[in-house]
Amino acid sequence: MYNTFFQLKSNPFSQAQPLSSVFLPTTHRLALELLTKEINKSSGIFILRGAIGVGKSCLIKALVESFSNKSEVVFNHLNPASRLQLSAPEHNQLIMKSFTDIYLNTAKQQATVFILDNANKFSTSFLKGLLNKVAEQNKSQPTMLILTGPPDLKSQIKNLKLKKQTSQLIKALSLNPLNGEEITDYINYRLSCSGYSKNSLFTDKAIESVAELSKGIPWLINTICGVCLFQASLDEQAVIEKETVKIATEFCFLPETISDKQDTIKQAISPQENNSSKKNQQVQFLHNNLEQILKSNLLKKRMTL
């Protein structure tokens, strides 16, 4: 395992990162500040949108943690179940019932913040009913709803034809991919959280290559950098060069096309329904079996040399 080779106390690019290693770039910090400010006002509907892997979940974690010592604010995740259940009518009914029950059992002096992840996966009728209900309940008790989803979630919500009082409560926040400087800071920060105390492990050219391949999406940066560390440890390289990135990513599943602009990100990351299942399974398999896959492929390659 490359942790031993690089003298790391943990995997720096694990997808299941602890809150202490969450890196928030500029747009994420601004969004966190705005959400914190609005929660203190205790009302509103917020659309938190961005490409898959851009850091929406990390931002939500940081937001909840920032209010951990404030009993007057209560956070509630409305859809912790599997994504496969999101389209089931009975699942939607359970979410709506959960929303009502939580609202009725929350003290009047407390502000309630509901979080609905992957809001784009829900039906038009469900979203319309939920948003109008939030607006209605805001009349008697402070209630806030945060919807997360892809860049086009704002348009999806706009097309719901909501009541005027509901539309007036809606604000949209967009999370952008990391820029070049932020990618460097991100990689070095994640390494430092894992105990790496030497000079930069990745050369400037290597980071440029990672940036080009990932388009600034943290999820992809983690995947690429994790593969690079494994490749470098096999080759006993103390520093990761551009060539290391090139070799490592030959064994790494990456989306075929990622647009430079967030609002036009191709469906290679978030495929259409008819082919999403297969690609999502491939990505998940890679994440779960990354080391084993790479080791097998590299051994086969070397045996044929």
Q: Residue 199: which domain range?
A: 178-303
Question: pLDDT tens-digit profile of 112-157?
Answer: 889 999 899 888 998 999 999 888 887 777 788 999 999 999 999 9
Identify whether the C-beta of residue 122 lies closer than 8 Å to the C-beta of residue 96: no
CA–CA separation, 89 and 97 (whole Å): 12
Residues 68 and 39 in one domain: yes
Residue 50 lies in a domain: yes
Q: Decide which of 156, 174, 192 is a domain's last residue.
A: 174
One domain for residues 139 and 218: no
Residue 231 above 60 pLDDT? yes
Write the pLDDT tens digit of every residue in 156-182. 999 998 999 899 989 999 999 999 999
- Whether residue 267 has pLDDT greater than 50: no
Mean pLDDT, rounded, for 39-57: 88
45, 120: one domain:
yes
Percent of the chain residues past pLDDT 70, beyond the cut: 75
Q: Both 289 and 257 in a single domain?
A: yes
> Which domain-ending residue is among 128, 147, 174?
174
Q: Global pTM?
A: 0.74
Instruction: Check residue 94 and give its pLDDT.
Output: 76
- How far apart are alpha carbons 144 and 39 in whole angstroms? 7
Q: How many domains does the chain have?
A: 2
